[in-house]
Amino acid sequence: MDNDTPLHSAIRNFKDDLDPIKVLLEVDDSDINVRNSKGETALHLAGQNRKCSEELIKLLLAHGADANATTSPDGNSVLHFFAGSCINLYTNEVATILLKHGSDANARNSKGEIPLHMAVKNEECSENVIKQLLEYSSDVNASDLKGDTPFHLAMANYKCYDYVMIRLFLKYGADVSKRNGMDETPLQAYYRGKTEGSCPVDPRLQILLQTREQQLENSSELHVACLCGKPDEVRDMLLKLGADVNSLDKYGYSPLAYTFLRYHDDYDRWYIVQSLLHYGADICHQITLENNSKRSLIEVGMATYSYRNRDESEPQKMLFGIIDFIEHIAKLLKLYEEQAEMGINAEALQNLQGILGKNRFYVILMTILNDSRLSKESLLSKCSKELEAMRETRLDESKQTFWDLMLAKTAASYVKNKKLVEAFYAKHHIFPMYQGILEAKIDKALERQRLIDNATISFFNVLNFADPSDEFYERTLSYCSNKDLINLIDGLKERE
């Protein structure tokens, strides 16, 4: 067949027995790179054999097989063949072995395709092979002769590539603005694929596949900062600009939902989550996923730690985020229970309990972590003790307690009393579980009061108004947002 050598034939018929191939190579391995009439070497045939094993590839390479040999006229390398023919059932480290032996992850065939194109078009190719190619710098933005990048092909055939895999492409630099020969961006290729199919559009992908400008048109600056920015940028928006932590974009996604969409699994994500939680992000808010299914942000957050999402090479990174998230759930659960006993927030308690009762991720993660510090009973006990201590701990010599502050919607009235603020910072450390929430409430009120005071003084200096301490000015300026106050202060300074 095709002028095959005995070695070609043995590999073409290979299932799992290496012995016949070993015998041929031990007798004479000089024809290891001989080609048949299709220009295929023995290694090419190994890459096309769906039973291809790591041992077979290692054996051929050990006997001098050329990992970069290409066929004529197609120009396919063994990596092209393997990526285009491997099946999920037999996924192994073959791609990595070839890459370590110098196989070019960006070699192009006669159609301008690199192996990653072939892998994406192969509907049975496993995500592990795609990961291996990307880890060895396969160019996710390489265009074939039709102008399609591997990312375009993946988006047009989204039924084979789920949300987790799309985030992987983005993590490795997929360009959402690049256009193919049909003048399509990856998002437009995705829409085309959806039109040809029957599944509804996934809002998460619409968000991720937009350019930064499109994201800003459809959401807030806080949303985009949570998706692409740094923790300090998010904290500044929450504290200095008074950004709405629970504002929704056109798809009904909050800033916390955007944070869970981040495709870089780094510490930044969880520092941002921590800030959002302290500033009151609603973890019970439901968002729409693929197929119009709905999930709460508790479930979305927990799912972020599923085996396909977490970075197993850095277990501490995984623990860092999930411990804080579980602790926050426990804090809210106990707080809502205490409030419900007072006749307030009963609906919030019922909602949270309902979500936790059906959330398998919560149960699974608590079991996996198996840490006495994180057991539900231990966390709730800590929270209960802190809330009880808040009731008994006064701010300064006033009648106001930390519990009163916890229940208050804002701390505006508290920050007007300098002694209360000083007392807060002197004692707030004794409530480590709730410290972040309490600090965010006080810090936010202090920053807003500072802006109102500065705006009042600026008015006084420029317009020679009456006493700037007059309550009239504060009441008037209280209708302005933080951003408006900042613009007002800057504008008045220019007139001084």
The pair of structure tokens assigned to 273 is 């989550």
Instruction: Please report, for residues 224, 229, 286, 287, 296, the alpha-carbon distance to residue 252 in angstroms, rounded to integers and kept in the order given.
Output: 14, 20, 8, 6, 12
1-139 CATH choice from 3.10.520.10, 1.25.40.20, 3.90.1170.50, 2.40.170.20: 1.25.40.20
Asked if the domains at 1-139 and 214-384 fall in one CATH topology, the answer is yes
CA-nearest of 172, 128, 124 to 151 is 172
What does the alpha-carbon distance between residue 21 and residue 32 come to, in Å, rounded to a whole number?
11
For the stretch 141-163, pLDDT in tens is 999 999 999 999 999 887 666 78
3-class secondary structure per residue, 52-107: CCHHHHHHHHHCCCCCCCCCCCCCCCHHHHHHHHCCHHHCCCHHHHHHHCCCCCCC
pLDDT for residue 471: 73
CA-nearest of 96, 132, 9, 11 to 60 is 11
Phi/psi of residue 286, each to 5°?
Answer: -100, 140
Q: Which residues, other chains included, contact 182 with Cβ-Cβ below 8 Å and sequence gap of 6+?
A: 147, 189
CA-nearest of 135, 134, 71 to 108 is 71
pLDDT for residue 87: 75
Instruction: Please report, for residues 6, 327, 337, the alpha-carbon distance to residue 381 in angstroms, rounded to integers and kept in the order given.
Output: 73, 12, 13
Q: Which residues, other chains included, contact 36 with Cβ-Cβ below 8 Å and sequence gap of 6+?
A: 2, 3, 4, 5, 8
For the stretch 220-235, pLDDT in tens is 999 999 999 999 999 9
pLDDT more than 70, % of the chain: 88
pLDDT for residue 356: 84
Q: Exposed e or buried b for every residue in 3-23, given b needs 16+ CB within 10 A?
A: ebbebbbbbbebeeeeeebee
Q: How far is CA 400 from the centre of its chain?
A: 41
Residue ranges of domains in the chain = 1-139, 214-384, 393-495
Q: Which residues, other chains included, contact 28 with Cβ-Cβ below 8 Å and sequence gap of 6+?
A: none
CA-nearest of 63, 57, 48 to 93 is 57
The one-letter amino acid code at 1 reads M
Q: Exposed e or buried b for every residue in 56-76, given b needs 16+ CB within 10 A?
A: bbebbbebebbbebbbeebbb
Q: Exposed e or buried b for every residue in 153-168, given b needs 16+ CB within 10 A?
A: bbbbbbeebebebbbb
Question: Helix (H, G, I), strand (E, B), or coil: what is residue 287?
Answer: strand
Q: Does a cis peptide bond (omega within 30 degrees of 0) precede residue 150?
A: no
Token pair 């968000």 is found at 207
- 214-384 is classed CATH 1.25.40.20: yes
What does the alpha-carbon distance between residue 190 and residue 163 come to, in Å, rounded to a whole number?
12
3-class secondary structure per residue, 227-254: HHCCHHHHHHHHHCCCCCCCCCCCCCCC
pTM, 2 dp: 0.87
With contact defined as beta carbons under 8 Å apart, do 144 and 113 qualify? Answer: yes
pLDDT for residue 492: 78
Instruction: Please report, for residues 473, 474, 480, the alpha-carbon distance to residue 455 in angstroms, rounded to integers and kept in the order given.
Output: 9, 9, 10
pLDDT beneath 70: ranges in the chain: 88-92, 159-161, 195-199, 265, 305-320, 359-377, 463-470, 494-496
